[in-house]
Structure 1
Amino acid sequence: MARKTLVFGNGLGMALDQQHFSLERALEDVWNHPRHLPDHQKTLVGRCVDNDGEAPQGEDQLDTLHVVVAACNMLNKIGDEDVHWLSTEGQQFPTAVAKYIHRVASNLHLYDGSLPDTFLDPLFDFIRETKSNIATLNYDRLLYGALIDAGFMNGGYRGYLVDGMIDGGFGAETLERRYGNDFGYYLHLHGSPLFYDDRRGAARKMTRDMLTMNSAEISNHIVLTHVIHKRSVIGASEVLSTYWDYLNDCCHEAEEIIVFGYSGGDVHLNNVLAAYARTAAIRVVEWRGAGTRLQREEYWEQILRTEHFDLVRKANVLDFNDW
């Protein structure tokens, strides 16, 4: 069986626990917690979105945070010990936002539930047989943790899946298939709260049991939802930019691309999918409650820029097993 590329959106978690995997809930819970974000950092974030003391809401406000952080990081790089383009508060702003975004992603990631075996077993069998690629748009450990526990990412380059995070740190070369290896890729397209930069600036991945809501390490490799200007965040992270580069390779080599539990709100991803929709078969698996079949077919036709795709609608997407 030929290799495929599977793209998982937040619908994977929402089908299991809609309340926990709500971004709005996580934004508010972290914001309102007395210890997750120090008051002075909370003040910096709050002034940026001007939300009367309430948690950031909606993609427009999240996008504003990402844009201002990118601008501050650029100005911080051209400062020196004697002259700086930013005030003390401006220099601290990227750290404040990074901590808030990290805590939100951690809140979503730290979940004790698990995907049903009726969903996982057919998927696992399929990956063992094909070493297909997986790309995710969320931070939950549902799929990632299940794959690790089942041994899919053991054995280094001899394993079924590789995400490039090795003991020596991440680098674009860590994803190259060499010496006849034919592993599939696991691409964290929006990053992970497990990723952090060590003192030398090398990106590493902590183990799952190391991550708590009070972890000292803060990830700079996270995109919070489908923000408009996320390319600047991706470009600032070697990890994220490498994953997005490899997504093109994964789509290029795929016999079929299966888009699972994805709402269609990520313009960056939509452009990639549309670019390969004419050369690879496309299947979209989504929740039946998203709209009528006609509405959804028209919607996906606009996103994929083609009429040639299969739309699979499920009352619960976790009932899908036809990989």
Structure 2
Amino acid sequence: MAYLGFESGGTKLVVSLSYDGATIVDSRKIDRPLNNTAEQSLATLLETALDLVKEHGLGEQSIQAIGFGFGGSVNSDLNKPLICLHEEGWSELGAADQIRGHFRCPVYWINDCEAAALAEASLVKQVSHMFYVTLGTGVGGALVSNRRIFRTSAEGNSEVGHLLVDDDFHTPCPCGSSGCLEAVCSGPGLLRLAKRMFPEEGIIAPEQVTASYLAGHPKFQEVMEKYILYLAKGLASVMTLYHPERIVLGGGLGKFVAEQFQSRLEEGIRDKCYPPFRQSVSIHAWTAEEQAVGMGAMMYAREQLGYEYSMTDRLKDNNE
């Protein structure tokens, strides 16, 4: 038997295959057009998954479960997507029914940041409480405690991207508010920040900002300093609320920030978080990298599948 991991969020659509529900043996990545609808993305994921399964000599009935790392909010009680701020249509699509129509197996939905957090936690030794942050198209967060996602509601929690960090409320956020961490510290947020500070530079992509910083351009040194101040403010709130043993930054921008600004960011967090927690501040780059979401989604599906089977066995035993 095998597992599939779906990933929809950011600029990529990804399908991953595993035989043990944890180790990825193969994956396919497709660029997601920025104007894609949920229906178009799902069709691409299904077509890619069917091709991947066929290439490995598997039948559609060989898949034991599918974990879907969703780039938006998920209702964990109802096991369904709620909303994606960057792609419309998921809540009305009936995606799980369409997927089951092909693979005849359970589909388990999990926020993509939570999925990545599970994968990262499985690779970290001797850390019981870890907070994971994705810096990409949006800014997501997830707390993992003893290898399990910590949740306070079915609709999720740890929405670090929507902490208010810009006191002047210059920048609107996709959530409808303004001044959120996501508005200034996501990839698009970094671009907006650079345009706001230096509109004459004609920057059109966040990659230009990071490349100009690495090239030593003085204006973009200033942009990144402002960026780190915003990010430190948001992560100081995370530190004060949760007191994790480490904070892991994922996504392409997250890895760049962790590698280039680790000490500066730690210093900024210490300056703003609750004093007794300051010595515990520890920033790291992700290690699972691009496999994190697919890997974590399949781990979650395997876990949920085992839980459902164990509950069925218990009910059976109680009725005998």
Greater per-residue strand proportion: 2
TM over 0.5: no
Higher relative contact order, structure no. (Cα contacts within 8 Å, ≥ 6 residues apart)? 1
Using structure 2 for the length normalisation, give the TM-score.
0.30
Using structure 1 for the length normalisation, give the TM-score.
0.30
